[in-house]
Chain A
Amino acid sequence: MNYFDLVPWIVFLPVLGLLLNILIGKRLGERGSSLVAFLASGGAFVVSVLQWLSLSAHPEAHIVKFAEWINIGALQVPWAFRVDTLSVTMMLVVSGVGTLIHIYAAGYMHYDVRYKGDPAAYQRFFIYLNLFIAAMMILVSGDSYLMLFVGWEGVGLCSFLLIGFWFNKNPDGSSGMENSNAAKKAFIANRVGDLGLLLAMFAIFTLMGSLSFDTVFARAEFINPSYILAITLFMLIGVAGKSAQLPLYVWLPDAMAGPTPVSALIHAATMVTAGVYLVARSAPLYSLAPAAQTTVAVVGALTALFAATIAVGQNDIKKVLAYSTISQLGFMVAAVGLGAFVAGMFHLVTHAFFKALLFLGSGSVILALERAHHPIDGDHEQHHEEPKKGHAFDPQDMRIMGGLRKVIPTTYRVYLIGALALAGLPPLAGFFSKDEILTDALHANPLVYALLTAAAFLTAFYMGRQVLLVFFGEPRSHAAEEAVESPPIMTWPLIVLAGLSILGGLINFPGLHGLTNWLEHTLGHEFAHATEFNLTVALTSTLLALLAIYLAWTLYGREPLKAKAADPLAKRLGSLFTALQNKWWVDEFYGWLIIRPYQRFAAFLADVVDWRFWHDWVHDSLIARGFRGLAVFLANPVDLGVIDGLANGLATGARGLASSLSILQTGYVRNYALMVFFGVVSMLAYLIFFS
């Protein structure tokens, strides 16, 4: 018994859910519409599980052709679903974590829409969320690069819509454009990456005459390797855009402007891993271009370290996690770049668990402070008061937190599990996946190994710093003292994710190699070799992580930060810490390098080219004045002179002729008779003498 024919439902169930919410969402109320969205996402998860079960029995790839799509000459792209072990892994992560986040969001958004003063936005949020699940499913299940690209753009759109969910507000809740600017930044940075992916697709189609994975991979080895190198490097640009790698990562920290469940779902667990999935999917291409593989690995490793350093200097609880996500994506990209596709996918899965957990946990912390700061009574009263710009209370600032472990114990416990998993302590999920990447890196490329180990050290440090700042010490604000634990609808998904973060390592436990064997069916033995457990690497990374946590404890734990006190790191690191806090001024650098010249160029185009040249000169001077001149010419000399002159001249001529001829008309009969006489005489004379 297999269920492969059900696979289109992974897309159509979320679509159905969002259509229901669009049509009757307002009538369903909050509970009804979030239930619809949850059922749609949960249904997709159930279908994914069925695919998994079917695939366990028949592990070879199944292609379910759903509909004709593009059929133009050589370009034949049907809408086909590809069910293989790799895509099903992604489907399970996307729909599984997605469903948990749907549950959490049902609770979180209840408060968020009220704090933002717009309860009607509740349904809109779940419409976007379901749309995202549908687009992500198209991305992972597509059987060709073009179908993947459709999903790729779809998730980009959803990311844009959800980052700018409160599009008329700033992240601190006041009215402004910052959220929508963040959305635009994400969209534009992704466009740059998408251009790379498009170019890669054009090249693939030109060289191999097809876009479907099987055909492309089969023909790839007959192509000149330098073309393959170009294709894979263009693809890397797409990966850098979507998976927030150097140098296009800048959009992801700003994307934290979106509601926290969005940060968890899109900007931590699923969408940003699409780049990793793309590289893993294109494994046969990358294996033909070792230079591209090295580039991918080095880009990933550099990103991992670079973002980890920035995360150390951040005070915003979500910004720390955002840079941590970039850093962890760097780990995955480095892994797939090294050819350790299984390790990359393994880390992708475990990271989805614990990073979703951390983001949702941070949302719970933020909400706890928000609710303590200005409680809303019941569900009926709405929060009408518009927060002032620059008001002192920022519920995401870790400097006003502290001591939260006593007031919100559930959030604290799950957050700690997530943080330890991220720091890579055994036996949590992050340890196994990160360790596998490090082991593979050590064999393949020592430089990458060194960068990643340094990043892992920093990871443990900034997570230790964050946990100590948020949950330990004394409350540094009134809100932190009175923080309110989140309702069960939010904590239960956290607990489930915490369980997954603990047990996630079992997916590819050393010696069992579950994921390796599973993915081998798709990637082939060549790309999915089991990595042996390396005790030295494991011990090194664990000891480094413990050292980093100890370091964090000496700085933030032994002597907890006082309210309004300076960060102890600022003293130790001096100007380096300022650089970290300012994110190495990368945004400013891009502003100087790209944005300001672009704005100047735009201003030049607008002011000089469009306004002065095009509008003033071409339109006003050339066209308007020229036309007016032509009109005057046509009116005066041509119309008045020639045409009227002709008509008037005809009239005056006729009148002149008439008046000169009227002299003949004397009125005297005798004159007429004389003329008749002469006439007759001359006619007679003519007849007589000339005929």
Chain B
Amino acid sequence: MVPVSYYLALAAILFALGALGVLIRRNAIIIFMSIELMLNAANLLFVAFARSFESLDGQIYVFFVIAVAAAEVAVGLALIVTIFRTKHSIDIDELSSMKG
């Protein structure tokens, strides 16, 4: 049986990749995918701990997270479509009109 620390390391790597993606990429869709990556890193941890503790709670949380992520994606994609319509680009560095 695979030890839980392996899952932990994988989740950490996935989360770090997602975070890096959010921080350094400019394409809004890539950033979205990176956010999904971080969410799924968390899901992986939930599932891994649910298995190791033999509890269903973590499994249930994962369902919630997937549902919320789906809703978030729907809203996010709608926003990206609207941004694209006004800016003709989805480069988020173009969206800097709130600069102080």
Q: Is A206 an interface residue (CB 8 A)?
A: no
Question: Closest residue to B35 on the A side, CB-wise?
Answer: A673
Question: Closest residue to B24 on the A side, CB-wise?
Answer: A670
Q: Is A73 an interface residue (CB 8 A)?
A: no
CA distance A662 to B98 in the complex (A): 10
A663 in contact with B100 (CB, 8 Å): yes
B92 in contact with A670 (CB, 8 Å): yes
Q: Is A657 an interface residue (CB 8 A)?
A: no
CA distance A127 to B2 in the complex (A): 137
B99 in contact with A666 (CB, 8 Å): yes
Q: Is B23 an interface residue (CB 8 A)?
A: yes
Q: Is B44 an interface residue (CB 8 A)?
A: no
CA distance A664 to B92 in the complex (A): 17
Name which of A661, A662, A665, A667 has the most chain B CB atoms within 10 A of its CB.
A667
B92 in contact with A665 (CB, 8 Å): no
CA distance A670 to B26 in the complex (A): 8
CA distance A588 to B13 in the complex (A): 129
Question: Closest residue to A659 on the B side, CB-wise?
Answer: B100
Within 8 A of A (CB), among B47-100: 92-93, 95-100
CA distance A668 to B24 in the complex (A): 11
A674 in contact with B23 (CB, 8 Å): yes
CA distance A73 to B95 in the complex (A): 99
Name which of B19, B24, B93, B100 has the most chain A CB atoms within 10 A of its CB.
B100
Contacts of A598 in B (CB 8 A): none
- The verdict on A665 contacting B99 (CB below 8 Å), with A670-B92, A677-B19 known, is yes
Within 8 A of A (CB), among B3-28: 19, 22-24, 26
B100 in contact with A669 (CB, 8 Å): no
A670 in contact with B22 (CB, 8 Å): yes
B23 in contact with A673 (CB, 8 Å): yes
A664 to chain B, nearest CB (A): 7
Residues of chain A at interface, number, CB under 8 A: 13
A665 in contact with B23 (CB, 8 Å): no
Question: Closest residue to B98 on the A side, CB-wise?
Answer: A667
CA distance A670 to B19 in the complex (A): 11
- The verdict on A665 contacting B19 (CB below 8 Å), with A670-B24, A670-B92 known, is no
B23 in contact with A667 (CB, 8 Å): no
Contacts of B99 in A (CB 8 A): 665-668
Question: Closest residue to A673 on the B side, CB-wise?
Answer: B22
CA distance A54 to B77 in the complex (A): 133
Question: Closest residue to A672 on the B side, CB-wise?
Answer: B98
A483 to chain B, nearest CB (A): 117
Q: Out of A661, A666, A673, A674, which one reaches B96, CB within 8 Å?
A: A666
| Contact pattern, A 658-691, Cβ under 8 Å of B = 1, otherwise 0 | 0001111111111001100100000000000000
B92 in contact with A669 (CB, 8 Å): yes
Within 8 A of B (CB), among A624-674: 661-670, 673-674
Q: Out of B23, B97, B98, which one reaches A670, CB within 8 Å?
A: B23
Q: Out of A665, A670, A673, which one reaches B100, CB within 8 Å?
A: A665
CA distance A667 to B97 in the complex (A): 6
CA distance A519 to B19 in the complex (A): 136
CA distance A665 to B99 in the complex (A): 5
B35 to chain A, nearest CB (A): 10
A668 in contact with B96 (CB, 8 Å): yes
B46 to chain A, nearest CB (A): 18
B90 to chain A, nearest CB (A): 12
- The verdict on A662 contacting B100 (CB below 8 Å), with A669-B95, A670-B92 known, is yes
A664 in contact with B100 (CB, 8 Å): yes
Question: Closest residue to B26 on the A side, CB-wise?
Answer: A670
Contacts of A661 in B (CB 8 A): 100
CA distance A667 to B98 in the complex (A): 5
A668 to chain B, nearest CB (A): 6
Contacts of A665 in B (CB 8 A): 98-100
Question: Closest residue to A658 on the B side, CB-wise?
Answer: B100
B47 to chain A, nearest CB (A): 22
Question: Closest residue to A661 on the B side, CB-wise?
Answer: B100
Contacts of B96 in A (CB 8 A): 666-668
CA distance A666 to B93 in the complex (A): 10
Question: Closest residue to B19 on the A side, CB-wise?
Answer: A677
A667 in contact with B22 (CB, 8 Å): no
CA distance A667 to B100 in the complex (A): 7
Contacts of A668 in B (CB 8 A): 92-93, 96, 99
CA distance A526 to B95 in the complex (A): 131
B96 to chain A, nearest CB (A): 3
CA distance A661 to B98 in the complex (A): 14
| Contact pattern, A 47-59, Cβ under 8 Å of B = 1, otherwise 0 | 0000000000000
Question: Closest residue to A662 on the B side, CB-wise?
Answer: B100
Contacts of B22 in A (CB 8 A): 670, 673
Question: Closest residue to B22 on the A side, CB-wise?
Answer: A673
CA distance A666 to B95 in the complex (A): 10
CA distance A666 to B23 in the complex (A): 14
Within 8 A of B (CB), among A142-166: none
CA distance A42 to B21 in the complex (A): 131
B14 to chain A, nearest CB (A): 16
A/B interface sample: 16 pairs, CB < 8 A: A661-B100, A662-B100, A663-B100, A665-B98, A665-B99, A666-B96, A667-B95, A667-B97, A667-B99, A669-B95, A670-B22, A670-B24, A670-B92, A673-B22, A674-B23, A677-B23
A-B CB proximity, top 3 nearest: A665-B100, A662-B100, A667-B99
Task: Give 8 A-B pairs besides A666-B100, A674-B23, A677-B23 with Cβ atoms closer than 8 angstroms.
Answer: A665-B98, A667-B97, A668-B92, A668-B99, A669-B92, A670-B24, A670-B93, A673-B22
